[in-house]
Homo-oligomer: A and B are copies of this chain.
Amino acid sequence: MSTIKDVARLTGLSISTISKYINGGNVLEKNRVLIESAIQKLDFRVNQAARSLKTNKTMTVGVLLPSLDVSFFANIITEIEYLLLDAGYFTVVCSYNHDPRQEMRKLCYLIEKNVDAVLMVPEYLGADEIMKISEIRNHTTPLVLLDRAVEGLYVDCVMVDNVRAAYQATCKLIRAGHRRIGIVLGPAEISTARERLQGFLQAHTELAVAPDPECIRQGDYSLESGHAIFGELMDMPNRPSAVLATNYDMTLGAVTAAYERKLRIPEDVSFIGYDEARLSRIISPPIDIVTQPTHEMAEQTTALLLERLRSGGDTPKRIRLECGMLNGQSVAPFPAP
């Protein structure tokens, strides 16, 4: 493995000149040619460890996710990755597999690996624990939270107005005449699930409809749980006339459960799904879908990350983006006209 020293020797220039060239400094044209050919011949690559040692930077952003295969996050991260690359930053992802112990452990590892910033989707971690990490306490390593806040933790955060999104979807159902509405929620430990429930309840309150606790059911944001819970709801003696599923996987699970029971949407049950517009491309009639602003989330998150990476600490920013609603044909008036 050849070093900058070898390049210096081969070109007859000094180490500092080579370093200058490598880092975009000006060198004499003839030296430029010389250096480039030497680099080529020696197959020289900058030793990143040495560079990091000196600069205290890795030009790498660490992303920590609860799981690798949640398409909602995967989509956002993919976009962020492109944006960060444009800014010269490499992105590495790692997952804690919904495991509370791994969540802390991996966060520490990432920071110890000297990533320049961490972007994370938290799940079970508390503010006190995160604050134990000195790099975060001292703002040495910027931390940005995605999709979910951590109570009592004052760091940058990009999220979505979950309350309002669920509120609007629920309102739509109530306005269509539905009075017993089922909701398929995520785990109560996760703030998005709590917020969506809150919006659901708020719509009931405002429109003076009493929610039935039996119709409020908690899953784990997985395909299977969406399937199971939708099934349970439909098997109730007085089943809800409409259902709201609150993420992509559970939406898909709910739809398969409906199909399986030969329940027609919306004739037999009205339905609103979540997250992926492409869902309506494979379900007919197309369903109504609450869409989250993934592009905007990616952009805002990247902007936030870059700002922190460039100019460091400031008072934390908390960004809330609005969700949209893709109108389909899965909400019918109730009772049927």
Q: State the Cβ distance, A88 to closest chain B Cβ, in Å.
A: 11
A171 to B284, CA, bound (A): 33
Q: Does A50 contact B (CB under 8 A)?
A: yes
- Across-interface contacts of A78 in B (CB, < 8 A): 67-68, 95, 97
- Closest partner residue, chain B, to A55 (CB atom): B49
A252 to B248, CA, bound (A): 14
- Closest partner residue, chain B, to A258 (CB atom): B259
Q: Is the CB of B90 within 8 A of A224?
A: no
- Across-interface contacts of A140 in B (CB, < 8 A): 1
A18 to B94, CA, bound (A): 31
- Across-interface contacts of A92 in B (CB, < 8 A): 62, 92-94
Q: Is the CB of B90 within 8 A of A93?
A: no
Mark out the residues of chain A between 12 and 61 whose CB falls within 8 Å of any chain B CB in the assembled complex.
Answer: 43, 45-50, 52-53, 56, 58, 60
Q: Does A81 contact B (CB under 8 A)?
A: yes
Q: State the Cβ distance, A247 to closest chain B Cβ, in Å.
A: 13
A274 to B80, CA, bound (A): 31
Copies of chain A in the complex: 2
A73-112 vs B, Cβ < 8 Å mask (1 yes, 0 no)? 1110110011000000011111101000000000001001
Please tell me which stretch of A148-156, A238-246, A275-283 contacts chain B, meaning at least 4 of its Cβ atoms lie within 8 angstroms of it. A275-283
- Closest partner residue, chain B, to A284 (CB atom): B260
Q: Does A209 contact B (CB under 8 A)?
A: no
- Closest partner residue, chain B, to A278 (CB atom): B224
- Across-interface contacts of A43 in B (CB, < 8 A): 134
A77 to B68, CA, bound (A): 9
A97 to B252, CA, bound (A): 23
Q: State the Cβ distance, A262 to closest chain B Cβ, in Å.
A: 8
Q: Is the CB of A112 within 8 A of B252?
A: no
- Across-interface contacts of A113 in B (CB, < 8 A): 48, 58, 60, 90
Q: Is the CB of B227 within 8 A of A282?
A: yes
Q: Is the CB of A68 within 8 A of B93?
A: yes
Q: Is the CB of A94 within 8 A of B95?
A: no
Tell me whether A282 and B49 are in contact in the complex, defined as CB-CB below 8 angstroms, given that A68-B74, A78-B97 are known contacts: no
Q: Does A193 contact B (CB under 8 A)?
A: no
Q: Does A223 contact B (CB under 8 A)?
A: yes
Q: State the Cβ distance, A63 to closest chain B Cβ, in Å.
A: 9
| Subset of 28 A-B contacts with CB under 8 Å | A43-B134, A46-B112, A48-B112, A48-B114, A49-B49, A49-B52, A49-B53, A49-B56, A49-B58, A53-B53, A60-B113, A62-B92, A68-B69, A68-B73, A68-B77, A69-B70, A69-B74, A78-B95, A78-B97, A81-B95, A81-B97, A92-B94, A93-B93, A93-B94, A224-B278, A227-B281, A253-B282, A256-B282
Question: A93-B95, A227-B281 provided; 11 other pairs, C-beta below 8 A?
Answer: A48-B112, A48-B113, A68-B78, A68-B93, A78-B97, A81-B95, A92-B92, A93-B94, A224-B281, A256-B259, A259-B260
Chain A residues with a Cβ under 8 A of chain B: 1, 43, 45-50, 52-53, 56, 58, 60, 62, 67-71, 73-75, 77-78, 81-82, 90-95, 97, 109, 112-114, 134, 140, 223-224, 227, 252-253, 255-257, 259-260, 278, 281-284
